[in-house]
Structures are given as C-alpha cells and as structure tokens.
Amino acid sequence: MYYLLKQIAKTGIKTEAPPHTDEALRVVQQRLRTEILGLFGGSLAIREVDAGSCNGCELEIHMLGNPYYNLESLGMKFVASPRHADMLLVTGPVSRNMEVALQRTYDATPDPKLVVAVGDCGCTGGVFGESYASCGRVANVIPVDVAVPGCPPTPFALLQGILTAISAGTQR
C-alpha cells in the first residue's frame, strides 16, 4: 500500500485543460432546449457504440478516461446501457451486421438524446465506404447531431465534439 500511495503522490495531477467547442463539427442545428443542455452539461451519460469500426476509434475513446483528458472530471461518464444514456458516441462505418443493433440501441436511448458520429468512417464511411457489408456513415442509419472526423480523431477532438454537442450553439 505504501508504494501504491507513493506512486500516486509522485505522479501528481496530469489533467489538462479541456478544449473549446467547435461549431464546424455540428451536422444539424441544436435541437435541444438550453435548460436540457444545462442538465446534460452538469452530468452527461455517454453510451459508446462500435457499429463496425476497425477499433482505432475505440483506442482514442478509451484514452478520454486517462489522467490527461480526465473525462469524468468534466461530469461525463460512459454508461453500460443505452437506457442510461443521454448521448450515443458511435464509431463506424455501420456494418450491415450491426445496422439493426445500432437502430435498436438508438431506440432504447431515452429522449432527449444526442448522437455524435466518430471518425472518418463514422462521418463518411471512410476507407470502407458503402458495400454489401457496410452501410457507410452513421447518419445513413440514425440521426446525427455532431460528426468528429479523424482517423482516429484525437481525444482532444473527441472532447471538442462532445462539448459542442451539448453546447447551445446557434439555437433556433
């Protein structure tokens, strides 16, 4: 226990400042009311769905939890069920074998909800495109609010996308 505590003390606090929002990532205008966004902003529950990714995006999504980005210090956490989620973080391309599972996950997520499509494949289909096995981008299967490009997008870019999704942006 002594060495464990010593290691924690030696490591110190590594957490860096979070990014600013970026309106360029928004796909559709903010649909949610400011009051709801305020609630989300205080405590956002995210369900990650790998809908066909090469697992590169998952590597970076995992990194969001490391001490440098420290997602949970921003009031955000990954939850185990879509029923507990405010936001779906979806990587793609959506494989045809995951099409129904993604649709059902979306349906199981209570309203109001937000969807962030992750990675070049989630945004456009990427190197896999559309085929007998791939539906292409996430927006081809479920509605998307914010899309974060990159192969894979860095944790910083992911955080920017998530923060943009819950910011008021240009409200109607």
Residues forming the site for other proteins (CB under 8 A): 3-4, 7-8, 11, 14, 48-63, 65-68, 78, 80-82, 93, 95-101, 105, 126-134, 151-152, 154
Residue 68 C-beta: closest distance to other proteins, Å: 5
Residue 13 C-beta: closest distance to other proteins, Å: 11
CA distances from 119 to 4, 15, 108, 137 (A): 37, 24, 23, 10
SS3 call for 133: coil
Residue 59 C-beta: closest distance to other proteins, Å: 6
Cβ-based nearer residue to other proteins, 60 or 86: 60
Helix (H) or strand (E) holding 104: helix 96-108
Cβ-based nearer residue to other proteins, 57 or 163: 57
Cβ-based nearer residue to other proteins, 25 or 98: 98
- Distance, in Å, from the CA atom of 64 to the CA atom of 11, rounded to the nearest integer, reads 18
Residue 135 C-beta: closest distance to other proteins, Å: 9
Report the candidate in 166, 164, 147, 161 with the shortest Cα–Cα distance to residue 34. Answer: 166
Residue 77 C-beta: closest distance to other proteins, Å: 12
Cβ-based nearer residue to other proteins, 26 or 47: 47
Q: How far, rounded to the nearest angstrom, does the alpha carbon of residue 48 sit from its chain's CA centroid?
A: 7
Which residues make beta-bridge pairs with 26? 146
SS3 call for 163: helix
Cβ-based nearer residue to other proteins, 98 or 147: 98
Residue 92 burial (C-beta neighbours within 10 Å; 0-12, 13-18, 19+) = buried
